[in-house]
Amino acid sequence: MTDFDKLIKTIVKPLVRYPNDISITHHETDLFYEYHLKTNPNDTGRIIGKGGHVAQIIRTIIYSVRVSSDKRVRLIIDDDK
């Protein structure tokens, strides 16, 4: 299976100010492989974008990976709110 941690990091890192503050945690639920992305609070807005524009683009790219399982991948951006 594709290394989603690495993929998400590759996409997100150049877009943020504090690349060292990126952390990704991984959970598996009944239906999804969930990846929780956490960035520096100052970068979270940048990663989400106006109206979720940037987040949507990142998701589209990540979801385009084919997963050989009935579970789907899901990217969740944690913002502590």
Partner 1 sequence: MTTFTGKTVDDAIQKGLKSLEIKQSEAEINIIQVNRHGFFGIGRRYAKVEVAKKPESNPENNESSKTVHQSQENVKPEHTEKNNREESNQQNKSNHHQNEHSNYQKLDKKTVVNNLIDYLESIVEQLGINASVNIDAQNSKHIKLDFETDKEGLLIGRHGLTINALQELSQIYLNRYGIHHYYVELDTANYRERRMEVLEGLAQRTARKVVADGKPVYLDPMPSFERKKIHATLAHSDHVETYSAGREPHRAVVVAPAK
Q: How far is the CB of 77 from partner 1 (least distance, A)?
A: 15
SS in 3 state form for 32-66? EEEEEEECCHHHHHHHHCHHHHHHHHHHHHHHCCC
Q: How far is the CB of 64 from partner 1 (least distance, A)?
A: 4
Q: What are phi and psi of 24, to 5 degrees?
A: -125, 130
User: Which stretches of the chain bind partner 1, using CB under 8 A?
Assistant: 2-3, 6-7, 10-11, 14-15, 17-19, 41-42, 46, 49, 53-54, 56-58, 60-61, 64-65
Q: How far is the CB of 29 from partner 1 (least distance, A)?
A: 21
